[in-house]
Amino acid sequence: MRERIRSWRLPQHAPLPLADIARILNPVLQGWWQYYGRFYPTELWKLFTYFDERLGAWLRRKYKPLKRHRGRSLRRLNGIAKRNPSLFVHWARLGHATVG
């Protein structure tokens, strides 16, 4: 699954808005949640943490002031998750981004 997330190359999709990325990827994340979430919740938590790290890399690529500021980008991602928890499936289930 990490390989699949890597294959999406999120940071290279910087021109896309976050809502479009969520619309494209939520069906896959939802499927993983439904299939693996019942029996492997800890592993799924780690996977979603990795996914959020990749979203942080997307933020760093999209917004110049965040470049080379991993902590700031992850704090911004957590802020986005708190303001809009239904944007990504795992944010809605967990109530926030899984990083930071």
pLDDT for res 5? 94
pLDDT for res 56? 94
Cβ–Cβ under 8 Å, residues 96 and 85: yes
Burial 20-40 (b: 16+ CB within 10 A, else e): ebbeebbeebbebbeeebeee
Residues in the chain: 100
Helices within 63-96 (DSSP H only): 70-83, 89-94
pLDDT for res 100? 61
**Residue 82 CA from chain centroid, whole number:** 13
CB atoms within 10 A of CB 12: 11
- Tens-digit pLDDT string for the chain (100 aa): 999 999 999 988 889 999 999 999 999 999 999 999 888 888 998 999 999 999 999 999 999 999 999 999 999 999 999 999 999 999 988 777 777 6
